[in-house]
Structure 1
């Protein structure tokens, strides 16, 4: 048996040890996605098993979320089965979401089927009577259509009545365009910015700006900074500064990034709500880890809640793993929660696999939580 086959066998064995049906279904889907190019028949069998475990999930909203993930995995293995599962979903909106989610995966190897999924998703979306549900569905269709035809995607976005939904759709289209047409992406993002300025509800505006700032930070730093100043909540403004700082680091503007992070940290110290403050520190510490690991850890230690602190240490470990696996492991050992520590170890193993596959596999096999062991083994299998 080849090393690749051995890794997939190990991953399946680990997945069988998972007790919770939701995690087991997600793990089997991940293995199937990685295995599909090598053994389609076994991948299909694993996805059939995943469906069986989805039916055992007793939380309906979460069950639907996991099912959408499984359907997406089917798209790479058996598009017709994915289509049938999507059409069997209980609402038209979720049918559209499932079909459009599958499009990106299908575009890699079967553009004709991807287009069929898109046209059916559009037909269903336009038939939805409830205005809010129709706008949500049309936003998903417009975003997916940007992968095929930007002009058509923009026309579809214009059909969305809700301003926030239309702004979000335009932002998603701009994000897709940014990988091959930065100038047009910037123009579309500007349209979304104008819509964002019209929003009156503070929470709605903040959500739209979150995505828009992240998209624009890769296209126009100054425009992203201007939008950050529009954030209605201080904690969201601080996080926006962190997002822009990360974009500055990608452009090798380290000093400017550091100054922006310091400004964001000043805001973080004044946030009153403990969870909001912890969320800000988590975001800022993760970006700071790219500049100064010790400072990132100091910021993480500002967080009093142990869960939030564990999540932050995990994020820092994942960043550090890209350049220093030993230090990343030291950080991971400070994580109290077993699942969070396992997640960090998986990230470290995956990063280590790019330079030392043997050590990475050894680490992956030591991950205590089976779900994250599966994640690491599947990613490392792609490197074999």
Structure 2
């Protein structure tokens, strides 16, 4: 039965039927009942050891019936529901929407059924059947879950470019909070598409809904989101006025933790809107040292993006934690060095080094000094950068620092010196214990050696790293290291070999049972393939990883994977789709990371707006 169906659900059902028939007899056959009981226990016991994610793997491999049977074989109700939701996501993603809907409807727990039906509704919307998607969402009887599902549909419809229908659906929501939230999603996509006037109109409409929200915390939250969209649409004056109102609502919150979190968010949007002085005043009003530091770093980031480096320096120096101060100042040094003011960059780098050396913990001191090594080198003081790198006590960290210096030295044109540094790094790498760690660090050295112009040596090192990677017994680790080797081989100039290795890594990744691991490895392969120049293959892998990420049941991991998908999609030239995808991320920090990826790809001047949004949303 297991071979025929792929699971034990049918066998367990047949055992129960037999037990019922035996119990209906005038004299039940106890021996037969005992044997059935024993077999049932054995089946349940072996299913207890099956990873719930194995079901989604079978669905991904094109065997949805086997996937469903395996999921239903799990005896723990919670894990059975989790497995079925994963199968629903995969089945919906590949287009078998009828089967996905039937599976979702079969879940008995209202919460998990809502999760599953929301996924189906999203997939249906992507397929273009908006009416059916709305109907699915509206089958949820709980108003909150129904609204949540409809908002998810709005986001998907907007992301695929059907802005007219996305707007209509957003306006059909009855709750002001959700109407505002949905319209903000659409406005963000419209702004990304370049239609600033339309984005402003939508933001104004969302603002009106936000003002009718009675809960001060929720009202502040939505007004902050409106400010982000208005800033992206280029209306800084309006953004400042709204930020002032959001601040008032935030200050009215009675819960101190909620008030501090809301004010920290306000700091970001005020800074992004260009009012750095007021943003700094807001920071000073925060009492929690950690939140104050985080908010200051956001303002410093916005000041750096705006070119006000003097202001950024002053803010960084006001940080009390030496590690944060060293790290933040190192970022400012990078901007100053890139602007060509090397003398100023060197002075700031010296100051960052002093902050780093004031740390008493050896590990954190070395970590901070690695950042300083990079900026000292970028400032042009290569001799001192090398001295700093060699002064690090931990071999692993010394190795990383030497590779950084070698890279900068190579760019400066001193290839012979770069080769010597790379050779020193190689010697350190070969002293590390464990094939995985040694392979990983040899791969880093390959990049430095290739940059120094010695491609033949780089190829030999890449071959050594590949051999070490193939000795790893854990499939996940082996795939990870092979993916790193792909990038190294491509850097060494052997693109054909890089593609073959990428195919090997992809095959290993497809065997992983955990969807999050599989998605992570697929996007890693996509990154490596893109680096090797095969953009079409990279796009396909990124699409696979995106679809798989959307099957995850936890909120954090899919967005982490989607950030990397954005990076690949932007890197291979499809920056419009990358930006739309970035704006579907709901977590502000993660959306900021994704927007930075897009900014890197599009370059100036468009990158300014994207970076400004990122600074307002996330950490500097």
Short-chain TM bin: 0.5 to 0.7
User: Is the 2:502–2:528 contact (alpha carbons within 8 Å) kept by the matching residues of 1?
Assistant: no
> In 1, Cα distance between the equivalents of 2:440 and 2:269?
28
Instruction: Give the corresponding residue for 2:296.
Output: 138
Instruction: Give the corresponding residue for 2:315.
Output: 156
> In 2, Cα distance between the equivalents of 1:121 and 1:349?
40
1:201 correspondence with 2:353: no
Match of 2:192 among 23, 36, 44: 36
User: Is the 1:245–1:261 contact (alpha carbons within 8 Å) kept by the matching residues of 2?
Assistant: yes
> In 2, Cα distance between the equivalents of 1:176 and 1:285?
27
Instruction: Give the corresponding residue for 1:185.
Output: 345
> In 2, Cα distance between the equivalents of 1:207 and 1:313?
27
Q: Calculate the aligned-residue CA RMSD, in Å.
A: 4.7
Following TM superposition, by how much is the alpha carbon of 1:215 offset from its aligned partner in structure 2, in angstroms? Answer: 1.8
User: Is the 1:225–1:241 contact (alpha carbons within 8 Å) kept by the matching residues of 2?
Assistant: yes
1:331 correspondence with 2:497: no
Following TM superposition, by how much is the alpha carbon of 1:360 offset from its aligned partner in structure 2, in angstroms? Answer: 3.4
User: Is the 2:373–2:385 contact (alpha carbons within 8 Å) kept by the matching residues of 1?
Assistant: yes
Instruction: Give the corresponding residue for 1:3.
Output: none
> In 1, Cα distance between the equivalents of 2:325 and 2:231?
27
Once the two structures are superposed, residues 177-208 of structure 1 have per-residue CA deviations (whole angstroms, 9 ceiling, x without a partner) of: 11112221111011111222222111221221
Once the two structures are superposed, residues 143-185 of structure 1 have per-residue CA deviations (whole angstroms, 9 ceiling, x without a partner) of: 4423332222222223222222222222121112111122211
SS in structure 2 at match of 1:365 = helix
Once the two structures are superposed, residues 229-283 of structure 1 have per-residue CA deviations (whole angstroms, 9 ceiling, x without a partner) of: 2323211111111111121222233332222222122222333477765653453
Deviates more, 1:329-338 or 1:132-141: 132-141
> In 1, Cα distance between the equivalents of 2:200 and 2:570?
13
Following TM superposition, by how much is the alpha carbon of 1:131 offset from its aligned partner in structure 2, in angstroms? Answer: 3.1
User: Is the 1:158–1:166 contact (alpha carbons within 8 Å) kept by the matching residues of 2?
Assistant: yes
Greater helix content: 2
Q: Which runs of 5+ in 1 are unaligned?
A: 1-11, 46-67, 107-112, 353-358
Task: Give the TM-score normalised by the residue count of structure 1.
Answer: 0.66
Higher relative CO (Cα under 8 Å, sequence separation at least 6) belongs to 1
1:240 correspondence with 2:398: no
Deviates more, 1:319-328 or 1:74-83: 74-83
Instruction: Give the corresponding residue for 2:280.
Output: 122
| Count of residue pairs the alignment pairs up | 329
Instruction: Give the corresponding residue for 1:317.
Output: 486
> In 1, Cα distance between the equivalents of 2:431 and 2:125?
44
In structure 2, relative to structure 1, the CA distance for the partners of 1:179 and 1:39 (3 Å cut) is: same
> In 1, Cα distance between the equivalents of 2:365 and 2:125?
41
Following TM superposition, by how much is the alpha carbon of 1:99 offset from its aligned partner in structure 2, in angstroms? Answer: 5.2
Instruction: Give the corresponding residue for 1:296.
Output: 462
Task: Give the TM-score normalised by the residue count of structure 2.
Answer: 0.44
Equivalent positions of 1:202-217 (< 5 A) are 202-217=362-377
Instruction: Give the corresponding residue for 1:360.
Output: 535
Instruction: Give the corresponding residue for 1:267.
Output: 428
Q: Which runs of 5+ in 2 are unaligned?
A: 1-121, 128-148, 162-187, 203-223, 251-256, 510-517, 547-561, 576-600, 603-620
User: Is the 1:285–1:300 contact (alpha carbons within 8 Å) kept by the matching residues of 2?
Assistant: no
